[in-house]
A and B are shown apart, each in its own frame.
Chain A
Amino acid sequence: MEEEFKLFNDLLNIGCCKLCAVRYLCKKHIDFSNVEEYLFENRFHENAVKTDDETIYNMDYKKIKTNPCIVCLGLLQEESLTQIIQSDKLEKAKQYDSEVFTCSISMPAAILLRERSMQIYLKSQFPTFYKENTEIPLNRVWKVFVKNELGRYLQKEFENSDTCNFSINVAMSYALDIEELDHLRKMQPKMYLERATQRRKYNCELFSRKGVITALSNTPSNNFMTNYPVPPEIPSEFLQVKDIECKHNSIFFAGRYTKYSRDLSQSPWIIDGVKTMETSVQEIIFDSIKNVLGISENNLKFSSSGREDCDVRCLGKGRPFYIEVLDPVKTQISFKEFREIEKEVNKAALIGVFHLQNVDRSELTKVKEGEEEKTKDYNALCLSRDPVTQEQLDKINVCGKVEILQKTPIRVLHRRPLAIRNKTIYEMKAKAVEGEPNLIDLHLNTQAGTYVKEFVHGDFGRTTPNIGEIIGTEVDIIALDVTAINLDWPREIEYGSNDHTTSSDNNDISCRLIFSTLVAATSCYTIWEVTAAARITKC
Chain B
Amino acid sequence: MLLCTTKQLDLNKPLPQRNILESIADKINDKKIFLSVHERYYEHKYCVALPGISQDIHQKVGFHTNRVCLLSLAENHPIRKEDKNISRINFKVSETLDRLQNKVSGKSKRGAQKLHKSSIICYIECSDDTNYPVYSCVEGKLVEINDKLITNPNLLKAKPDSDGYIALLLPVLSMYEDLKSSMLTKEQYFCLGSI
Chain A interface (Cβ within 8 Å of chain B)?
A: 260-264, 278-279, 309-313, 348-350, 381, 383-385, 407, 409-418, 438, 453, 457-461, 474, 476-480, 521, 525, 527, 530-531, 533-539
> Does the CB pair A476–B106 fall under 8 Å?
no
What residues on B are CB-neighbors of A381 within 8 Å? 28
Query: Which residue of B is nearest A474, CB measured?
Result: B36
Which of B43-51, B77-85, B162-170 interfaces with chain A? B162-170
CA distance A279 to B17 in the complex (A): 13
Known: A279-B15, A411-B41, A461-B148. A311 touches B6 (CB 8 A): yes
Instruction: Give which listed residue, B7, B15, B24, B37, contacts A530 with CB less than 8 A.
Output: B24
Whole-angstrom distance from the CB of B60 to the nearest CB of chain A?
14
B26: min CB distance to chain A, Å: 9
Closest chain-A Cβ to B172's Cβ sits at a distance in Å of 13
Taking CB atoms and an 8 Å cut-off, the chain B residues in 34-66 that contact chain A are 34-38, 40-41, 64-66
Contacts of A418 in B (CB 8 A): 104, 109, 143-144
Is the CB–CB distance between A349 and B17 below 8 Å? Answer: yes
Q: For residue B68, which residues in chain A have a CB less than 8 angstroms away from its CB?
A: 410, 413-414
Task: Report B147 CB to chain A, min CB distance, Å.
Answer: 10
| Known A-B contacts A262-B23, A535-B32; A348 and B17 likewise in contact (beta carbons under 8 Å) | yes
Could you say which residues of chain A place their CB within 8 Å of the CB of B32? 534-537, 539
Q: When the two chains form their complex, are residues A460 and B20 in contact, meaning their CB atoms are under 8 A apart?
A: no
* A311→B3 contact, CB < 8 A: yes
Residues from chain A with Cβ under 8 Å of B29 in the complex: 534-535
Contact A479 B28 (CB under 8 A): yes
Contact A309 B34 (CB under 8 A): no
22 intermolecular pairs with C-beta atoms under 8 Å apart: A262-B2, A262-B24, A263-B6, A263-B16, A311-B1, A311-B27, A385-B34, A407-B144, A410-B70, A413-B68, A414-B67, A414-B68, A417-B109, A461-B163, A521-B21, A530-B24, A530-B28, A531-B24, A536-B28, A536-B31, A537-B32, A539-B32
Q: Which of A278, A453, A534 contacts B25 (CB 8 A)?
A: A534
Q: Give me the 5 closest cross-chain CB pairs, A-B, nearest first.
A: A461-B163, A311-B2, A539-B33, A414-B66, A534-B28
CA distance A309 to B146 in the complex (A): 26
CB–CB B107/A263 < 8 A: no
Known contacts: A278-B15, A411-B1, A416-B107. The answer to whether A476 contacts B35 by CB under 8 A is yes
B105 contacts partner chain A, Cβ-Cβ < 8 Å = yes
What sequence of 0s and 1s flags, for each residue 1-21 of chain B, a beta carbon within 8 Å of any chain A beta carbon? Answer: 111001100100001110111
Give complex CA distance A417, B170 in Å: 13
CA distance A410 to B7 in the complex (A): 19
- Docked Cα-Cα span, A531 to B68, in Å, equals 32
- Which chain B residues numbered 105 to 139 have a C-beta less than 8 Å away from chain A? 105-107, 109
Give me the interface of B with A, judged by CB distance under 8 Å: 1-3, 6-7, 10, 15-17, 19-21, 23-25, 27-29, 31-38, 40-41, 64-68, 70, 104-107, 109, 143-144, 146, 148, 162-163, 165, 168, 170
Question: Which residues on the B side are within 8 Å of A279 (C-beta)?
Answer: 15
Query: Which of chain B's residues have a CB closer than 8 A to the CB of A384?
Result: 34
Contact of B34 (CB < 8 Å), options: A313, A349, A383, A415: A383
Contacting residues, chain A, for B15 (C-beta < 8 A): 261, 263-264, 278-279, 348, 350
For A278, give the chain B residue with the smallest CB separation. Answer: B15
Q: In the complex, which residues of chain A have a beta carbon less than 8 angstroms from the beta carbon of B36?
A: 385, 474, 476
Asked if A417 contacts B64 (CB within 8 A), the reply is no
- Given A414-B66, A460-B37, A476-B36, are A531 and B25 also a contact pair (CB < 8 Å)? yes
Residues of A within 8 A of B21 (CB): 521, 525, 530
- Chain B residues within 8 Å of A461, by CB: 146, 148, 162-163
- Chain B residue at smallest Cβ distance from A532: B25
B7's nearest neighbour on chain A, judged by CB, is: A263
Residue of chain B at shortest CB distance from A414: B66
Q: For A533, what are the chain B residues with a Cβ–Cβ distance below 8 Å? A: 25
Across-interface contacts of A412 in B (CB, < 8 A):
66
- B31 partner, pick from A383, A385, A474, A527, beta carbons under 8 A: A383
In contact, A478 and B31 (Cβ under 8 angstroms): yes
How many angstroms from the CA of A480 to the CA of B3 in the assembled complex? 12
A200 to B188 Cα, complex, angstroms = 60
With both beta carbons as reference points, the residue of chain A lying nearest to B40 in the complex is identified as: A476
Chain B residues near A531: list those with CB within 8 A. 24-25, 28
Give me 12 other A-B pairs in contact (C-beta within 8 A), A461-B146, A479-B24 excluded.
A261-B15, A263-B7, A348-B17, A411-B1, A412-B66, A415-B107, A417-B105, A417-B106, A438-B34, A530-B28, A531-B25, A539-B34
Q: Which of B2, B7, B144, B168 has the most CB of A within 10 A?
A: B2
Which among A278, A474, A530, A536 has the greatest number of chain B C-beta atoms within 10 A?
Answer: A530
CA of A226 to CA of B40, assembled, Å: 84
A-side contacts of B146, CB under 8 Å: 460-461
| B37 and A476 contact, CB distance less than 8 A | yes
Q: How far is the CA of A527 from the CA of B163 in the complex (A)?
A: 29
Contact A459 B31 (CB under 8 A): no
CB neighbours (8 Å) of A476 from chain B are 34-37, 40
Q: Is the CB of B163 within 8 A of A460?
A: yes
**Which chain A residues border B25 with CB–CB below 8 Å?**
530-531, 533-534
Q: Which residues of A contact B35 (CB under 8 A)?
A: 476
In whole Å, how far is B165's beta carbon from the nearest beta carbon of chain A?
6
Residues of A within 8 A of B64 (CB): 410-411
Q: Is the CB of B162 within 8 A of A460?
A: yes
Separation of A298 and B181 alpha carbons in the complex (Å) = 41
Nearest Cβ distance between residue B137 and chain A, in whole angstroms?
A: 17
Q: What's the nearest-Cβ distance from chain A to residue B144, in Å?
A: 6
- Whether the pair B163, A261 counts as a contact (CB closer than 8 A) is no
Known A310-B3, A476-B37; judge A413-B28 contact (CB<8 A): no
